Amino acid sequence: MVQAAIENPSENIRDRVTYLVQQQRSFFATGKTKDIEFRIAQLNKLKQAIKDCQDEVMAAVHADLNKPSVEAYMTEVGVIQEINFVLKHLRAWAKPKSVALSLEQLPAQAKIYPEPLGVALIISPWNYPFQLMISPLVAAIAAGNCALLKPSELAPATSRVIANLIQKIFDPAYVAVVEGGIEVSQAVLAEKFDHIFFTGGTAIGKIVMQAAAQHLTPVTLELGGKSPCIVDADIHLEHTAKRIVWGKFINAGQTCVAPDYLLVDRRIKSALLEAMKTTLQEFYGDNPAVSPDYARIINAKQFDRLTGLLQDGKVVIGGETIAAEKYIAPTVLEDVSWDDRVMQDEIFGPILPLLDYENLEEAIAQINARPKPLALYVFSKNPQVQQQVLQQTSSGGVCINDTIMQIAPSTLPFGGVGDSGMGSYHGKAGFDTFSHFKSVLSKPFWLDLPWRYAPYKDKLALLKRIMGS
């Protein structure tokens, strides 16, 4: 197979990738992917293949991240729900849409035709290595594209499962996987694609965008950032603690939309801390290191980076580490300043700084002084507080009185803004991302009014009346 050749260091990686892209361009040129029945058939094949190999998927993400089976099913295999949603609505999305015309265009018809872009490159990260590859692939297939997939080499077990699954059900001229490290990434980014979809960190996102600019290739960048979590005094304390703890420490905090820091009304700071301690004990027991429900850090490099952040502030919950297991306990820090390292970049691990505020305006000002986050959370029973945060901040998405769950509905576009990314997907938004919307104006021959043709004498007044100026 082509994938095996790419993994062989004696082969010319760039030539192999170029060959794959050329194959896909040739296949796309046949027009086969534009057929709605073809797209639906491919999505059904993908859905069944995921069902058939769900145990392998869960075993792979456990091998890569020690991800518990419930988390793996919910956050990885659960991508089947997205396929079901797309299958339900695809025919309607793909139909040309008629739009209204102004008086001077009559008689005419205007329609918008969604059409596929061509060959897409999808680069996925290691933290949710299956779901964050398959979900954009579903959108690319639905829109009628061919796709080249580059899974993260940092999650090798899941990368292999993805490669095996795709090789089993798709012709590589239609959908193919290339596995490998930086050399493979450089090879794929050197090619010209019709769209690049990247999920990962901001630094690599800049490299992807720079490479895409060489070919004027449009990009979708799903990045991250320091997602704040505001906690008002007017809350349900137990539910707030459970939802924050779950959202922060699922996948050991390696989630792009995890709460990155808490901004807590100082009147309830102590009570919230106690409630979080209780919740952590309920979730993971007295020693999370032996809990079957708590994941691990992806590799030693990330482990070392995160343990370095434990030096900031004061540990009030957790703080224990086991290097041999890449284990970092669910940890909460107090006495953290905005200048500490832990507050400079996205944490992407099980460390949660807690800062307090005296008034909401102060908290909002601190959020707005920093790059726009991918997610923003606010816990409050007060609708005025909720609206104030919504209206005075900017973020990729917002979740009120919960965490993480805003990314689940296929009816809600998911994406960042500013430093947290550009473009969106999920459901219709994903179909739109991988489509070009072609505007078509069609006029009959049976009427041809002369108002726009030369000579223009005495026509200006008529033109102003027609155009409403």
Residues catalogued as catalytic: 222, 256
DSSP 7-41: H-TTS-HHHHHHHHHHHHHHHHHTTGGG-HHHHHH
DSSP 302-329: HHHHHHHHTTSSEEEE---EEGGGTEE-
Tokens standing for residue 454: 């030369």
Burial 341-376 (b: 16+ CB within 10 A, else e): ebbebbbbbbbbbbbbbeebeebbebbeeeebbbbb
- Could you report how far apart the first and last alpha carbons of the chain are, in Å? 65
Distance between CA atoms of 152 and 125, rounded to whole angstroms? 5
Tokens standing for residue 258: 């995890």
Tokens standing for residue 243: 């939802």
Q: How many CB atoms lie within 10 A of CB 393?
A: 18
Distance between CA atoms of 365 and 312, rounded to whole angstroms? 23
> Which of 121, 116, 127, 117 minimizes the C-alpha distance to 198?
121
* Contact between residue 161 and residue 57 where contact means Cβ atoms under 8 Å apart: yes
Distance between CA atoms of 239 and 254, rounded to whole angstroms? 22
The phi, psi pair for 424, rounded to 5°, reads: -150, 165
Distance between CA atoms of 161 and 171, rounded to whole angstroms? 17
* Contact between residue 188 and residue 15 where contact means Cβ atoms under 8 Å apart: no
Distance between CA atoms of 273 and 250, rounded to whole angstroms? 18
> Which of 334, 202, 350 minimizes the C-alpha distance to 274?
334
